[in-house]
Amino acid sequence: MAGQQRVYKQKIKSTQTLKKMFRAMELIAASRIGKARDRAVKASPYTRAITRAVSAVASHTDVDHVLTKDRTDTNRVALLVVTSDRGMAGAYSATVLREAERLRAQLIEDGKDPVLYVTGRRGVSFYGFRGIELERTWLGDSDNPRVEVAEEIGQTLLDAFRAPVDAGGVAELHVVYTRFRSMVAQEPQVLRMLPLEVVDGVAEPTSEVMPLYEFEPSADAVLDALLPRYIRSRIFNSLLQAAASELAARQRAMHTATENAQDIITNYTRLANQARQAEITQEISEIVSGADALAAS
């Protein structure tokens, strides 16, 4: 029965190796979260400045811009889905993809034609498996998004929104990403980014009065420069949030995995001990019965 023991020993060994790996991934994720949050903090002065400026313009002139107008000439709508490049993050990708699918189904129901833009390998393989065509994908750096990539995504989507119908123009832009609420709570979020809805004092609960700005060269020109930047900064922000969420989800998933591995090790150790004891007992009873047989003869 030595075979039994050996099998258990092997299982313990391999689980221990896995446990080490899970632990390492947990620690890596934990150390990167700090960085990811730091990046989000560093990006916020820019977002704040842009938002302030947009509301300054909006409170002075009637906003009438290409990016704020509803397009009725096409029923194509763009859908940007932000997923992760790697798995091992629990339900992170599944959650955001489920939300994206829900939105996609709803858009189709509304008679629209969703066009998919996806970041992250998980999303790409999800749609690839289902044979759904993707307009454009971005891979790599999902846990550490770079500004250049965000700019490129923003530019692509803005171009799509501005493009004429026969060049593949889209009428709306929806973004599905995961919002980082805290280390334990991340939730999928759907945002309609385009056409922009400019409300006076966009997301700025402040009591200070907006000064009377002078616009250089003109209010329209300023708006022209501001709104694309606003969109791009929003997209960058959602990428940063998604990155922080991914890392938090991975840390938690890996923490659970480490604990489960420990449980398995404990279980198998018990079984291995039992097997060893059974073997000893059997050997003793064999010897005893052998000796008895000799004494009887």
Give residues in contact with other proteins (CB under 8 A).
Answer: 39, 42-43, 45-46, 49-50, 52-53, 56-57, 147-148, 150-151, 211-217, 221-222, 224-226, 229, 232-233, 236
- Structure tokens that stand for 57 in this block: 């313009």
- Structure tokens that stand for 96 in this block: 């955001």
The least distance separating other proteins from the CB of residue 93, rounded to whole angstroms, comes to 25
Q: What's the DSSP call for residue 91?
A: T
The least distance separating other proteins from the CB of residue 248, rounded to whole angstroms, comes to 21
Q: Which of 121, 77, 123 is nearest to 96 (CA)?
A: 123
Give, in degrees to the nearest 5, the angle at Cα 250 between 248 and 253: 110
Q: 284: part of which helix (H) or strand (E)?
A: helix 219-296
The least distance separating other proteins from the CB of residue 231, rounded to whole angstroms, comes to 12
CA distance 246 to 78: 23
Residue with tokens 């550490």, as numbered in its chain: 144
The least distance separating other proteins from the CB of residue 33, rounded to whole angstroms, comes to 17
User: CB of 174 within 8 A of CB of 78?
Assistant: yes
* Minimum CB distance to other proteins smaller for 186 or for 237: 237
* Minimum CB distance to other proteins smaller for 53 or for 78: 53
* Minimum CB distance to other proteins smaller for 205 or for 211: 211
Sheet of 172-180: strands edge to edge? 134-138, 113-119, 76-82, 172-180, 186-194
* Minimum CB distance to other proteins smaller for 202 or for 257: 202
User: CB of 26 within 8 A of CB of 209?
Assistant: no
The least distance separating other proteins from the CB of residue 142, rounded to whole angstroms, comes to 16
* Minimum CB distance to other proteins smaller for 42 or for 270: 42
Q: Which of 238, 257, 288, 274 is nearest to 15 (CA)?
A: 257
CA distance 80 to 160: 12
* Minimum CB distance to other proteins smaller for 148 or for 166: 148
The least distance separating other proteins from the CB of residue 41, rounded to whole angstroms, comes to 10
Kind of pairing between the strands at 76-82 and 186-194? unpaired
* Minimum CB distance to other proteins smaller for 39 or for 104: 39
The answer for 268, left when phi > 0, alpha when psi is -120 to 50, beta otherwise, is alpha
* Cis amide leading into 114 (omega within 30): no
The least distance separating other proteins from the CB of residue 226, rounded to whole angstroms, comes to 7
What is the CB neighbour count within 10 angstroms for residue 291?
A: 10
* Minimum CB distance to other proteins smaller for 226 or for 242: 226
The least distance separating other proteins from the CB of residue 42, rounded to whole angstroms, comes to 5
